[in-house]
Structure formats: structure tokens, C-alpha cells
Structure 1
């Protein structure tokens, strides 16, 4: 069971939709999708794939190192470190499905602790949620504390993402709005 959960996490970083279909149940839900593009909020491998694309649009060189996995009945808890480099706009969404803000690319690397909780039934992930150290990630990427220049770059990135979302609502704004890779 931990193999399926760990594989699902690794596939989010570098797998394909077909790969996700092998480990994610058609009715699987991701509780974390509330701040993600609307396409991520559905169920099944397609929604998980939309989350993977959303992450990959903002970050390159994504990796997850598993430090420990614990199994209790149908629940697998995977604790480890996620790392990557911010090379694109990272767009955060409201619960209503609108672009809330975008963090302009900084070109910086990050490595933060994550704990992922996944329910596994019949060899497939049926539910996911996580606890992440988003504040450390924001500090490592230079989002916090923001400089006046970085705030201006984020305002432009947010406008780009909002225009892209209104022009093509079915495409995640982060994917529709190419970003520069200038450091902050």
C-alpha cells in the first residue's frame, strides 16, 4: 500500500496522465484542490493530472524525497521533502474558482517538508490531503518578505493570469500565461 501512495506523489512531479490512471481511482478526491485551478477540483486521475500540470507550470525540477511512510488501515501517511525551482508564474485560486493572485517567477530553489495523507482502497488512491510548510517555501523563493519590485512583478503576473483565465476558462491560467524566468 505505501508503494501506491509514494508512486502517486512521484507521478505528480514527473508522471503522465496514463501513469496516474494506474494509481488513482476514478472517484478519487484531492482536498487540497480548493486553492487550485477549477480543473483540479474534480475527481479521478484527470483532476490529479490537472494539479500536476498546475504545479509543473510554476515549478521545474520538482522532486519529492520520501523520508518515512506509515500505514494505518487504509491510510498511508508519507513524510518527506519536496523541492524544485520556481521558473513560472504560480497562480493561487479562490474557492469560487477565480484567480486570487500570482507569484512571479524568482528562479530560486526551495526544499520544504510535506506530509501527504492518502486513503488507498483496492490498490488505488481514493483521497488525498497534505500538510505543507508553505511559509518556508515562500521565504526560500523570495515571496516573503516581498520587495517593492517583486510586488510589482506579482501584480503584472496576476493581471496576466486573470486575462488568461477569462480568455480561456477551461485552461489553467498558469498554463495559459507564459512567464519570464527573471530572478526577483
Structure 2
């Protein structure tokens, strides 16, 4: 049972799983994520992310890397309570590809065309860990702060047109 692991071990697993989503392989995630693990944030992500286990977590990373380069996670604080680890920190990157948002039904809702801008936002990731593996993930993110930094809001008319085109591309590709 994970409660027998030291608090630092649990925090390390949680931090490594965040970094593995951002830059790792399915094999990296298999060492950290239970085959039945669920990402509660996948409702607005591509259908491939909505399954369970390392493959679904890797699909989340692929989705993020398709839109953002230079993704870096910096942990500021970990809080461990029983089998729950809260990892608080910042995520930064550069918007270089279409960022596609999906409906709960698995259709493309909209896409944000790349701006080339960078962002740094605060996030808190909550992960339940059992037997040394992540079994559940959810997060609180500053999506509005990211949107402002990337120039998504307030949008210019020209940027809205670029997003319409990006959305059409994404819908055709889906």
C-alpha cells in the first residue's frame, strides 16, 4: 500500500509523472501510472486521452506537445496526505501549434491558432498513488492567465479568423 511509502517517495512519483506526461514515453509512464489510472481532466482533450493507463496519459502529453514547445514544469511545493499528493508549481511553454479543445462527446469544439508567444502559469495537480503508481489525476490550472499571455483574449479580428481556420483544419483532421 502506498501509505507505507515515505512522503518524499510519493511526492517524487507525482512529480515524475507530470514530467513524463510532458516529455516522456509510454514506457516512462508505465513505470509511474497504473494500467487503470484515470485522468479526470481528459473531458476537453482528444478521445485518445479518455481511456485509462499509461497510453491515455501519454496521449495527453502528445496533445500538449502538438500545441506547445519548450514545456517545462517547476514544482514549488508538494503536499502529501495519505495516498493523495498535491503538486503545486508552474508550467511554461511556447504556443507553436494549433491548440485543439474537444467536446465531452469527442468532437472538436475549437482550436486556437499558434501565436508564438510564451506563457508561465500556476497549476496544482492532485494525484492519488497506490502501490507506487498514480491511479487518479485531476488539476486546477490558470487557463485564463495562459489565454491572456498567449494573446487568445482579448482576441483581435485577425486572430479570430486564424482560429476559425485552425478549427476547420482540426475538424477535417478528426
Shorter-chain TM-score: what band? over 0.9
Query: Of residues 149, 157, 169 in structure 1, which corresponds to 2:158?
Result: 149
Equivalent in the alignment of 2:54:
45
SS of 1:163's equivalent? helix
Segment of structure 1 superposing worse, 107-116 or 9-18:
9-18
Equivalent in the alignment of 2:25:
16
Query: Of residues 129, 133, 136 in structure 2, which corresponds to 1:124?
Result: 133
Summarize deviations over 1:25-49 as a string: whole Å, max 9, x none.
Answer: 0000000000000000000000000
Summarize deviations over 1:44-103 as a string: whole Å, max 9, x none.
Answer: 000000000000000000010000000000000000000000000000000000000000
Distance, in Å, in 1 between the alignment partners of 2:65 and 2:15 is 18
Equivalent in the alignment of 2:118:
109
SS of 1:70's equivalent? strand
Quote how far apart the aligned CAs of 1:148 are. 0.2
Query: Of residues 94, 97, 105 in structure 2, which corresponds to 1:85?
Result: 94
Stretches of structure 2 lacking an aligned partner (at least 5 in a row): 1-9
TM-score, with normalisation over the residues of structure 2?
Answer: 0.94
Query: Of residues 133, 144, 163 in structure 2, which corresponds to 1:135?
Result: 144
2:55 is aligned with 1:56: no
SS of 1:106's equivalent? coil
After the TM superposition, which segments of 4 or more aligned residues of structure 1 sit over 6 Å from their partners? none
Distance, in Å, in 1 between the alignment partners of 2:160 and 2:45 is 21
Stretches of structure 1 lacking an aligned partner (at least 5 in a row): 166-184
Equivalent in the alignment of 2:34:
25
Quote how far apart the aligned CAs of 1:13 are. 1.5
Distance, in Å, in 2 between the alignment partners of 1:14 and 1:39 is 17
SS of 1:112's equivalent? strand
Distance, in Å, in 1 between the alignment partners of 2:55 and 2:158 is 37
**How many corresponding residue pairs?**
165
Quote how far apart the aligned CAs of 1:107 are. 0.3
SS of 1:63's equivalent? strand
